[in-house]
Structure 1
Amino acid sequence: MGTTIALVVFDDFTDLDLFLPWDLLNRVRLVGGRDDWQVKIVGTEATHVSQAGLRIPTTGFVEEAVDADAVLFTSGPRVPALIEDGRYMNRFSLSPERQLIGSMCSGALFLAKLGLLTGMEATTYPTRRKLLASMGAKVVDRGFVENGNVATAAGCLAGQDLSAWIIRTLADQAMVDSVIDSVLPVEQMVITK
C-alpha cells in the first residue's frame, strides 16, 4: 500500500505554495526511489488558475483528500471567501487522528474553520493574523508550527519546512536529508562530493 499526499488548490492560489511542496514531495519518489509515493493536486475543477495566471491541471477532486495520508492547503486571496462557503468546506472530511494536515500562509484559515487549530499555536501570513486569531488559534510569529498531526507554515519558503515534516513523518529523516540535499546550491550538496 502506498503513500498519498493531496495538495489542495483553488483559483488564485499562491504559486510557490503549491510548486515548492509539489517539487520537494515528488523528490521522495524521484530521488529517494519510493515508487509507492504519490503526490496529487486536488481541486474543484479539472484546472485552476494561480494568482500569477498559470493554469494547472488537477489530478483529482478535493473529496479525494479524505483518503490521503497527508493533506496540504495552499493559500491565496480567495481563502477568506472559501472558508465561508459551506458547500465548499463540507467537501473536506479530514481526520488528524489518521492524516497529516498542514497549511501554507492563509491556508491556516481552512484548518481553523475545520476546528483543527482551536486553542493551539499556529502561524499564517501577517495580513491574516487577526482573522486566524479570531477563529480561536494562538497566532505566533514563527515560520513553522507543528501540533502533532497538524502543522501550519507562513512565508512561501517555509514550504520547505512543511514538506520536510511530511517526509520525516511518512518516510524518515534520511529521506528529508536526501531531498533537501538535491535542491541545495551545488557547493552545499553532499551527494556530489
Structure 2
Amino acid sequence: MDIAVLTFDGFNELDSFIASSILNRMKDHGWNVQITSPSERVTSMNGVEISAQQPLEFANQADAVLFGSGIHTRAISKDKSILSRLSLHKETQLIGAQCSGTLLLSALGLLENIPACTDLTTKPWVKEEGISVLDQAFYAENSIATAGGCLASQYLATWVICKLAGKHHAEEAIYYVAPVGEKEKTVEHCLSTVNAYL
C-alpha cells in the first residue's frame, strides 16, 4: 500500500507526524507511508524544516491520501498552481483530511453533499464553502473521512488501517503507540470512534 501524508508549508507537526508514525507500524506488511509535499522542503508552523519524501504527484497514485492542516491551508485551498497537481479519485482511493485540510477536500470537490469535521478556527471558513460542519472528532462516508482537533489524527490513521488491512492490524498499531497503563482503553476508544464508519 502507498500512503501519502500531504504536508504543506506552515504544517501542523501533530497532524503529519502522528498519522505517519501510526501508519508506519504497517511497514512490515509492505506499506509505504510518505510525507508528500509540493516542494522539496517545507517548514512547519513552529519552524521545523523537513524534507519531503515524495512530490505532490505521488498522491495521485496512492492507495490512501491524508491531508494535514497548517497555518497557510486557507491560502493553499485557493492556489491553483498547487491544486492542479492533484488528481484524486474517491472511487479508487481512501482520502482523509485533518482540521484545515478539510478546506482542501472542499476545493477539490470531494465533499459534495458530505458533512465534515474540522477544528474550531477553520469551522467558519468550511461553512463559507457550503459544507455542513459536525461537532465531533471524526466522520467518514464511504472513501472520504475528516477529523477535527490535532490529536484526532489517530482516528484517521485507525480508519485507514481498518479499511485497507482490517481491525486487527489497527488494534496492534494503536496498542503500540498508546500510553502505558491506558493501552486497552485507547485501542477500544479509537476503534469505537471509527467503527460506525467502516
Q: Secondary structure at the match of 1:180?
A: helix
* CA deviation map 1:46-75 (0-9, x unaligned): 111111111111111111110000001111
SS for the counterpart of 1:75 is: coil
- Contact 1:8-1:43 within 8 A present in 2 as well: yes
Query: Aligned letter for 1:7?
Result: V
Distance in 2, matches of 1:14 and 1:151, equals 18
- Note the alpha carbon deviations across 1:123-166, whole angstroms, 9 max, x for none: 11111112111212111111001011000001011001000000
Check if 1:90 corresponds to 2:84: yes
Give the superposed CA RMSD: 1.1
Aligned to 1:136: 130
Instruction: Give the conservation status (yes or no) of the 8 Å contact 1:118–1:136.
Output: no
Please give the residue correspondences for 1:5-20 in structure 2 after superposition, counting only pairs within 5 Å. Answer: 5-20=3-18
Shift of 1:186: 2.2
Amino acid at match of 1:25: L
Moved more, 148-157 or 113-122: 113-122
Distance apart, 1:187 and its partner CA: 2.4
Native 8 Å contact 1:11 1:50 kept in 2: yes
| 1:189 Cα offset (Å) | 4.1
Paired position in structure 1 for 2:173 = 179
Structure 1: runs of 5+ lacking an equivalent: none
| Separation in structure 2 between the aligned mates of residue 187 and residue 86 of structure 1, nearest angstrom | 47
Runs of 4+ in 1 over 6 A off after TM superposition: none
Number of positions where the alignment pairs a residue of Structure 1 with one of Structure 2: 184
Counterparts of residues 29-108 of structure 1 (less than 5 Å): 29=27, 33-34=28-29, 36-108=30-102
Checking the alignment, whether the CA contact within 8 Å between 1:119 and 1:136 is kept in structure 2 is no
Kindly indicate whether residue 105 of structure 2 is the aligned counterpart of residue 111 of structure 1: yes
Gaps in structure 2 of 5+ consecutive residues: 185-198
1:123–1:144 CA contact under 8 A, matched in 2: yes
User: In 2, are the aligned partners of 1:117 and 1:136 still within 8 Å (CA)?
Assistant: no
